[in-house]
Structure 1
Amino acid sequence: MRLSVGIDIGSTTVKVVVMDGETILFKHYERHFSQVRQKTAEVLRKARAVLDGHTFTVALSGSAGFGLSKAAGIEFIQEVFATGKAVQLFDPQIDVVIELGGEDAKILFLTGGVEERMNGTCAGGTGAFIDQMATLLNVTPEDLDVLASHSEKLYPIASRCGVFAKSDIQPLLNQGARKEDLAASIFQAVVDQTITGLAQGRAIKGKVAFLGGPLYFFKELQKQFAKTLNLSKENAIFPELGQFSVAMGTAVYAPESGNQETIGSLLQKIEKAPVDTSSSNYLEPLFSGEDDYEAFVSRHQKAAVPVVPIEGYEGDAYLGIDCGSTTTKVVLISENDDILYEYYSSNQGNPVVIIKEQLLKIRSLCGNRITIRSSVVTGYGEELIQSAFQVDAGIVETMAHFKAARHFNPQVDFILDIGGQDIKCFKVKNDSIDSIMLNEACSSGCGSFIETFAKSMGYGIADFSQRGLFSQYPVDLGSRCTVFMNSSVKQAQKDGAGVEDISAGLSMSVVKNAIYKVIRAHNPDELGQNIVVQGGTFLNDAVLRSFEREIGRNVVRPNIAGLMGAYGAALYGKGLHLKESTLLSTEELNAFTHTAKSVNCGLCTNHCSLTVNLFSDGKKYISGNKCERPLGYKNKEKLPNIYEYKLNRLKELSEQSKEGPRGKIGIPLGLNMIENLPFWHTFLTELGFEVVVSPVSTLDIYAKGRYTIPSDTVCYPAKLIHGHIEWLLEQGIDTIFYPCLTYNFDEKKGDNHFNCPVVAYYPELLRSNIGKLKEMDFLYPYFGLHREKDFIKKAAAYFGERYPHITKTEVKKAAEKSYALYHQWHEDVKAEGLKMLRYAKEHDLQTVVLAGRPYHVDPEINHGIDKLLNSLGLVVISEDCVSDLVEPQKVNVLNQWTYHARLYNAAKYVATHDDIELVQLVSFGCGIDAITTDEVRSILESHDKLYTQLKIDEINNLGAVKIRLRSLLGAMEERRAVKQQKGEHPERNRDFYGTR
């Protein structure tokens, strides 16, 4: 026999294969839980029966194998080359290899130029991602596959990392979405991440081999890859030994190394390999000793709510429920605000079941002695729980936490709440919330961050956190996201750091992320003097100590830090002074049933994916809607909305196409072509073309073009334009017009009037990445609309060359008409905006300037946030409605972008008007908006106005958006109440944050 051994040590697993030529004699696959050397040696011992008495060749591969290879002196082969060798065993005719591992993902193109594409530091779309999502659904990974096989529909789920996905899945769970549908959606997210994030515009076609553990174990994932890539059974190759592919390729390579080993010599090399401990940086221990820790604990025990045994209490009680992102909290308080009953646990992916159990238990404990006078719910699942159990009221969670914090410290001026995957920071001024900051999509500063690592190292969260308290050498892990941190933790382990050191380091990292990424504080004084911290994460003493150390001052942590939302809800309910609660009785709870089904709404062109929750009393709760129509509200007055006005005008213009003697010409409705459509549609129509405009964006249009997107980090509006081009091509349009525009129209508001680089030059990228554009007439000239005479001259030359019958006179007339219509269009928008402002004033309504880019009017980009604002009782206008009503705003940066200048002016206008607030829309991936957000915030806060930012991308998660907007309204109402007390605005007294 000519034996060879291939060892593949990936990010999460060890695979060992023993081969005799092309015959496999032994194979084993096992998780290593970061115990790389021990687990590798353990697996090799299992191969003794095959290897004893023989010499063999051996090689190592894998992302976690290089260090061991170097230390043990074993030949290493890069895993891509190992995969290539394995593919030759499966099928020499394979064109593309897709391999998914624990944290690694790669595509290997073998035909048409060999090329390999790998994920960088993000583990989105890998086995680790799937494991995280299974945990979130409270099922095993194996169960996830079974659930997906019974799905009926797909939800859009982000796959860039587990954090984004949790933010999408949790609201769906809380709204009653079926786990079967969510499981299939998770697999589809993995497929989408592979296609858009890894392929980056290169077509996946021909015979495709799917390798790696996830693609072997999850049959539904296999089906969705084949379906999405439109692969036949002959072209979708799922090898029976796909999870061993790298190990097999490594074994095939091993004879080339020339080395000979025995099982004894190989084990000795692995077990005796030196450990490199040179690169770790250590921090100061959290506590100097037991006495220091005891003093710390004693100080924090003073902020406590008394607990009264419910069995001995008689009288009125008030119920608070916090249905959070990952946990459910319930509190029942007495007339004296003491706690009679408390509950804190994971919602296990089904909060309705948990709450029913808790309500039955509370009703049983209360008996006839205790009367529940009010019930209030807060958190992600607020509306579902309120509908299901007839809870008296709902309160936005930010206001619930504020009420609870004031109970412990009436002088509180800063509240920091860190939950499972949310961070909420409130600055308090004049006894009301002055500003609100929430983490956008990253949970690296949250409890789930530590929990993820605890589980990966085989510990429960409580035990893992406790171990960090007395670490003498906490590892400095910096402030990074969960995925980036994986490599830091692994390196620390290689350097000899223990579990205690990593636990302490992670606690410190959580704090740094919260302070420097969410709060973005420059010094501790920015946080305030009277700080209350809360949320389940702060029950971790290591996190609390790290926070106090980092800011250099003591804070208040209530003993119910994890229950503050529920406690604040109960306090709010007590203040309602209700005579009787509508909460379901014991009999009604026993008869309570809940079912959920998924449907697509057909009442308008949004075609929202709805989840319809049906309850035993015949009532239903519908979620997933972008407007009020599925809810059945009739005769409700429609509030003014400039986004809707603009969109309808664009649709009307798009439909005005008429036959032209010079043929058809297509325009993609995206990016700057949305605002400039009036100009270009008129111009081309006047030149004798029939203008065909792509329709308003949808997810289907996005899907048409995602295969040609070369960058996963570019903003969603740019990604969408690929689909619009594909749509035009499908219509048989053989001429598409999409010019490059370095400059925008000069509105005289800033230092210059550039378009951003993506907007200005995206046609160049499209030409390079959409192959069909090279085969037809794709017109992408460089024009400047800011100089009318120069434009006429250039356009006459450009079109005259391509269409000899077009004269300069024709171009001049067409241009003059186009400029006139463009300017009139914008005057109409401003006039409509003023009309809406007057309406708001006449009807005593609050107005929000929903500020962003012109293309945010696209409903696929804004996800119906404008309609959501309307549903909250707000009039909606845009930044261009008011940007001309003030003198140009002076800012601290070079003000050279047209759209930015509008934002700054709009902020200046809002800052000087009491009944108007500003909400800024920002697209993920928009680098230059990092400048605008700070400047807009500065302008508003200098006039004591609130700043609210909403980051949006291709994922539609209005749950988190609604919480933020209701938080804004709650803060506005708190301020208004203070002003009313001072007699400044006695006419306004509307409760925005509580819903009855």
Structure 2
Amino acid sequence: MTEPVNISIVKIGIDIGSTTVKVIVLDETDTILYRAYERHFSKVREKTGELLKRAANVLDERKARILITGSAGLGVAKSAELPFIQEVFATAKAVKTYFPKTDSVIELGGEDAKIIFFKGSLEERMNGSCAGGTGAFIDQMATLLNVTVEELDELSQHFEKIYPIASRCGVFAKTDIQPILNQGGRKEDVAASIYQAVVDQTIAGLTQGRSLGETVVFLGGPLYYFKGLRTRFTETLHLDENHAVFPENGDCFAALGAALSTDGYDIFELSDIQKRIEESVDDTTHTNPMPPLFTTQEEYDVFVRRHNSNEPPKTDITRYSGDAWLGVDAGSTTTKLVLIDENCGILYSYYGSNQGNPVGIVLAELKKIYGLAEDRIKIRGSAVTGYGEDLIRNAFDMDIGLVETIAHYRAARHFNPDVDFIIDIGGQDMKCFKIRNGAVDSIFLNEACSSGCGSFIETFARALGYEIEEFSRLGLFVQHPVNLGSRCTVFMNSSVKQSQRDGATVAEISAGLSISIVKNAVYKVIRAASADDLGKHIVVQGGTFKNDAVLRSFEQELEREVTRPVIAGISGAYGAALFAKDAELKNSALLTREQLESFTHKARPITCGLCTNHCSLTVNTFDNGRRFVSGNRCSRPLGKQKTDLPNLAKWKYDKLRSLTGVPGPRGKIGIPFGLNMFENLAFWHAFFTKLGFEVIQSPESSRAVYRLGQHTIPSDTVCYPAKLMHGHVISLINDGVDTIFYPCLPYNFDEGAGDNHFNCPVVAYYPELLAANISELANVRFLDPYFGLHRPKDFAKRAAAYFKKEFGIPERETKAAALSAYEAYEKYKDEIRAKGEEYIRFARVNGHKILVMAGRPYHIDPEIGHGIDELAVSYGFVLISEDSISHLVEKQPRKVLNQWTYQSRLYSAARYVCTQADMELIQLVSFGCGIDAITTDETRDILEAGGKLYTQIKIDEITNLGAVKIRLRSLIAAVEARERK
């Protein structure tokens, strides 16, 4: 009788993440026998079972202990009745086993980003429902650049400069990246900038004030495979090779930790584990279905015939002889060209991805057009619109550049002369505008977010291996579209993944995404209460409406039929061609066929040093020495001086920065230059100077200043002006200032314009948050007392007691300083109002329109406002601020509780603008500001009731001014159209 063979027990760890499955198998000595790392494309159980089958081929019939972990692992573990371990404990086990001196771990997955702190108490911090700054984000960015993720990584290692890219959200980042590409930016620089955005998102969003320590272990697929990403992390965190640890199995570390943690768990037959997981594949449920888009093929055929009737005639370009007009729409993700004949028929059209190189696309298409036209067709005029308008116009000497709203209105009017509402949904942009009396009136644009746009569907389609057209058709006839809600599209990623885990088919998700895009457009961007808020004659345009599922969803949501031209995807280009034809030019300046043969284009990134904006520029050089500089906020990089039109925002900023300190007997006192200091700096400068202190302002705001303090920011949702304060405080400390003064001010000065005079909670109490989260403040004297400047006598009394206690200053000196401070503040306010009067007189004498840039005092900070004021002045406006005119109207009750000083000024300024024929107002809004959720509607009501246009501009980390340009130019066009009537 033979002895039984002693079969060893192996340890299996399975980490099922949002996009990948990782499997590690260890023997009894913890040696790795098998490892696997593969994407599951949302087929979680199937892929896990497949990887275990491969392991079985290596492991024969051994028995095993097993632990499953990961964000998608819990569902599999429950369904298969297998043990589960929370991934932070699995990761901690592996880290403590192999790197016991680790202070913290940074781990990036497909849609998950986490930091685990080991120093002190074990703590994990993880991203919420947003996948910005993760592997999925990198995938999306690679798609945007039309490269693989491997090519993206290679590109990043050859960068010359880093562009500032919003890091809070992947969609926001796209808004910054696309204009860089459209303006000729190098892909190498964009790739490195994408990685830097991931780093910033991780540090700012997850450290939240806690120190990473000296030794950091980096885990997860992106950090394992992408060398460029590793470099950006180590350089940003100033880590050397001894303190930045990239483990050999860093892509599978949680699975490795799970395997190491299996001791004491039940033993299974390997075949039993496989069977449990395979049988759990069908354990799915449908949740929250929606009504179908179409119930029958006949219903769909009627729908298609109705919309196909809106089509311009087509003319054979190979037989046509005569004049033609060219329109180009250089959009955020696609480039469109249309050539029309004398009867507005289409001779030639093109629609395709700009592949990060719109100049190359237009060059190739123009050569095709000239080749087809031969000598029979003469192009009499050309016009270009879209985000790449300036670049394309300069590259090819096109005749006309026009704002997108006008181009789309011209196309819509061609198909429906009675059009009263136009909605255009593109890849990342949404433009909606009402038409009144034949002119563009109210304008709605998505700002920092592409929620409700087409790029999300396209990205998700590609992730599942489908082309967008095929993916969209899948959802037309499904009986139960998945209800994905109307949230941000990046948040929706999580909803889609969950739906797939619940058993929803790709077709059901396709239909659900189409419905969600419509809901986002109607309720998040337009914020319509009913279909009547839009209009009776609605025309839809843009590539997204080529998708029949989106169009059907739109009609179902509004419960009315709309007009979709067959050329919906190229409406902007068609409208531009019509506009060029309307111009009746005798000859076109467009580059000839011969000139195109010698056409060259090179793009070079530089940083402008002519002023403190330090704009990231792209210098585009064409043949014959032609040049175009993009990215500039003023004309100085072009060899010109800034416009000399008055700009009150710049005057105020320069005035405040001029308040430098003089050496005093009591030493230096630092003031962080942000938030309420833009309102009260004149007060505090006079106060401390009178007391014998030298006032030291923190440096001007910049991205570098922001990065100084980003590791101490405890909340990623607070507004950008508040985030900057962390860097300002640390800047003062780094400059050797050992006493910093930043008071809590619940109340602002009482101007008698509202129901009360509060500062918003962030402005009022942020000093306390800084004190609690900036560890460097332990080394200096940080003074954050509560004061109320609205009551001068009470302030003088409280300040006298406070500064006597802190510095031993006699009370009479403090009271005298308080008197000087109030005088300085009143003088500063009087100067602003006097300058406002002066600039208004200048505008009226010289025939300029006046633009009121209304927001909060700190919106004049160039890093916060991103040069919006200078852009407005470049369009010929004389610019003034809301606090220069708000005193010119009497107090009036509002529908909302009017209790914030800054917002009270806004309402008063809006009311005054309604009384002035030559004034318009734009409202600056800090993204994420809760108070502005109220003020925007109230300000709109005031302006529209007074016959004025309402223009809102949201500002945050995003430096792209594309949406701002559209708004300002649309405002100008609308005003001019009204004046012509």
Report the TM-score range of the alignment, normalised by the length of the smaller protein: over 0.9
Secondary structure in 2 matching 1:666: strand
**Worse-superposed segment, 16-25 or 553-562:** 16-25
C-alpha distance in 2 between matches for 1:608 and 1:442: 23
Q: Does 1:231 align with 2:234?
A: no
Superposition deviation, residue 963 in structure 1: 1.9
Of 159-168 and 874-883, more deviation after overlay is shown by 159-168
C-alpha deviation, 1:274, in angstroms:
6.7
Contact 2:182 2:356 in 1 (8 A): yes
1:579-618 deviations in Å (ceiling 9; x for gaps): 1111111111111010011112122222222110000120
Task: State whether structure 2 residue 696 is matched by structure 1 residue 695.
Answer: no
Separation in structure 2 between the aligned mates of residue 690 and residue 820 of structure 1, nearest angstrom = 19
Shift of 1:684: 0.8
User: What's the counterpart of residue 87 of structure 1?
Assistant: 95
- Range 567-576 or range 263-272, more displaced: 263-272
Q: Report what 1:912 is aligned to.
A: 915
Match of 1:271 in 2: 278
Moved over 3 A (4+): 274-279
Percent identity over paired residues: 62
Among 900, 903, 906, the residue aligned to 1:900 = 903
Q: Corresponding residue for 1:679? A: 683
Alpha-carbon distance, 1:460 to partner: 1.3
CA deviation string 1:759-795 (max 9, x = no partner): 1111111111111223322111111111111011101
Deviation at 1:958, TM superposition (A): 1.5
Q: 2:791 aligns with which of 787, 791, 799?
A: 787
- Deviation track 1:123-173 (CA, whole Å, cap 9, x = no partner) reads 111100001001100111000111111100000111222211110000000
CA distance in structure 2 between the partners assigned to 1:228 and 1:496 by the alignment? 42
Contact 2:645 2:876 in 1 (8 A): yes
Task: Say if 1:866 and 1:876, in contact at 8 Å, map to a contact too.
Answer: yes
Match of 2:436 among 406, 420, 429: 429
Residue 5 of structure 2 is matched in structure 1 by: none
Deviation per CA, 1:94-118: give whole Å up to 9, x if none. Answer: 1111000000010000012221100
2:936 to 930, 933, 946: 933
Within 1, Cα distance between the matches of 2:943 and 2:957? 28
Residue 224 of structure 2, aligned match among 213, 216, 220: 216
Q: Secondary structure at the match of 1:739?
A: coil
Residue number in structure 1 paired with 2:15 = 8
Aligned to 2:160, what secondary structure does the other structure show? coil
Query: Do the aligned residues in 2 keep the contact of 1:58 with 1:255 (CA within 8 Å)?
Result: no
Q: 2:490 aligns with which of 469, 483, 487?
A: 483
**Secondary structure of 1:445 counterpart:** coil
2:780 matched to which residue of 1? 776
Q: Note if contact 2:427-2:455 (Cα within 8 Å) is conserved in structure 1.
A: yes
Distance 2:535 2:901 in 1: 37
Note if contact 1:734-1:776 (Cα within 8 Å) is conserved in structure 2. Answer: yes
Residue of structure 1 in register with 2:342 after alignment:
335
Decide which of 875, 881, 904 is 2:884's aligned counterpart: 881
Residue-by-residue CA offset, 1:194-248 (whole Å, 9 max, x unaligned): 1101111112221110000000100111111111100111000001110010110
Note the 1:314-393 alignment, pairs <5 A.
314-393=321-400
2:418 counterpart SS class: coil
Q: Is the Cα contact below 8 Å between 1:889 and 1:908 reproduced in 2?
A: no
> Which runs of no fewer than 5 residues in structure 1 stay unpaired?
979-996
Q: Deviations over 1:423-472 (max 9, x none)?
A: 11111111111100001122221111211221222211111111111111
**1:74 matched residue in structure 2:** 82
Mapped pair 1:293 → 2:300: yes
Measure the CA separation in 1 of the matches of 2:482 and 2:305. 27
Task: Give me the whole-angstrom Cα distance separating, in 2, the residues matched to 1:485 and 1:695.
Answer: 40
What is the identity, as a one-letter code, of the residue corresponding to 1:901? S
- Which residue pairs with 1:828 in the alignment? 831
What is the deviation of 1:319? 0.1
Q: Which residue of 2 aligns with 1:203?
A: 211
1:302 and 2:305 are equivalent in the alignment: no
* Secondary structure at the counterpart of residue 256 of structure 1: coil
Alignment correspondent of 2:67: 59
CA distance in 2, matches of 1:504, 1:693: 55
In 2, the alpha carbon distance for the partners of 1:106 and 1:826 equals 48
**Are residue 42 (structure 1) and residue 50 (structure 2) matched?**
yes
Question: Equivalent residue of 1:150, what SS?
Answer: coil
Tell me the equivalent position of 2:649.
643
Match of 1:538 among 539, 545, 568: 545
2: distance between equivalents of 1:606 and 1:418? Answer: 32
Q: CA deviation at 1:733?
A: 1.3
Question: Which of 848, 853, 856 is 1:853 aligned to?
Answer: 856
Alignment partner of 1:653 is 2:656: no
Structure 1 residue 493, shift from structure 2 partner? 2.1
Of the three residues 168, 179, 192, the one matched with 2:200 is: 192
Task: Give the TM-score of the pair, scaled to structure 1.
Answer: 0.96
The 8 Å contact of residues 756 and 897 in structure 1, kept in 2 or not, is answered as yes
Cα distance in 1 between the residues matched to 2:386 and 2:187: 20
| Contact 2:768/2:784 (<8 A) preserved | yes
**1:581 aligned residue (568, 578, 588):** 588
In structure 1, what residue type is equivalent to 2:242?
E
Decide whether the 8 Å contact of 2:456 with 2:489 is kept in 1: yes
Aligned-partner Cα distance in 2 for 1:963–1:254? 59
Is the aligned partner of 1:761 residue 2:765?
yes
- What amino acid does structure 1 have at the position aligned with 2:823? A
Residue deviations 1:28-59 (CA, integer Å, cap 9, x gap): 11111011111111111111222222111111
SS of match in other structure, 1:701: helix
- The counterpart of 2:730, out of the listed 726, 741, 754, is 726
Gaps of 5+ in 2: 1-7
Aligned equivalents of 2:481 and 2:727: distance in 1? 49
Corresponding residue number in structure 2 for 1:667: 671
1:24 to 5, 28, 32: 32
Secondary structure, aligned partner of 1:312: coil
Q: Match for 1:911: what amino acid?
A: C
Q: Is residue 183 from structure 1 mapped to residue 199 from structure 2 by the alignment?
A: no
Match of 1:551 among 558, 570, 573: 558
**Alignment partner of 1:317: what SS?**
strand
332-341 vs 454-463, which moves further: 454-463
Q: Counterpart of 1:102?
A: 110
How big is the alpha-carbon RMSD for the aligned residues of Structure 1 and Structure 2? 1.2
> Which amino acid in structure 1 is aligned with residue 922 of structure 2?
V
Moved more, 496-505 or 461-470: 496-505
TM superposition shift of 1:802: 1.9
Q: SS of 2:624's equivalent?
A: coil
Q: What CA distance in whole angstroms lies between the structure 1 residues aligned with 2:284 and 2:224?
A: 37
What displacement does 1:276 show? 4.8
Name the CA shift for 1:667/1:637 in 2 (closer, same or farther; >3 Å): closer
What are the superposed Cα offsets for residues 892-944 of structure 1, whole Å, 9 maximum, x if unpaired? 11100000100000111112222111111111121111111111011111122
Q: Matched residue of 1:925: which SS?
A: coil
Deviations 1:774-826 (A, max 9, x none): 3322111111111111011101111111222x222212211111111111110
Q: Distance in 2 between matches of 1:889 and 1:143?
A: 61
Q: Residues 744 and 784 of structure 1 are in contact (CA less than 8 Å); yes or no, is this contact kept in structure 2? A: yes
- Partners in 2 of 1:807 and 1:424 — Cα distance? 62
Aligned to 2:125: 117
What is the match of residue 994 of structure 1? none
Q: Give me the whole-angstrom Cα distance separating, in 2, the residues matched to 1:451 and 1:885.
A: 51
Aligned positions, number: 973
Is 1:460 paired with 2:467? yes
AA in 1 matched with 2:191 = A
User: How far did 1:890 drift?
Assistant: 2.5
1:972 has 2:971 as partner? no
**Contact 1:51-1:262 at 8 Å conserved across structures:** no
Which residue identity lines up with residue 144 of structure 2 in the other structure? L
Tell me if the contact between 2:46 and 2:281 (Cα under 8 Å) persists in the aligned partners.
Answer: no
Give, in angstroms, the shift of residue 279 of structure 1.
Answer: 5.6
1:327-378 CA-to-partner distances (Å, cap 9, x unmatched) read 0000000010000000000011111111100000001111110000011110
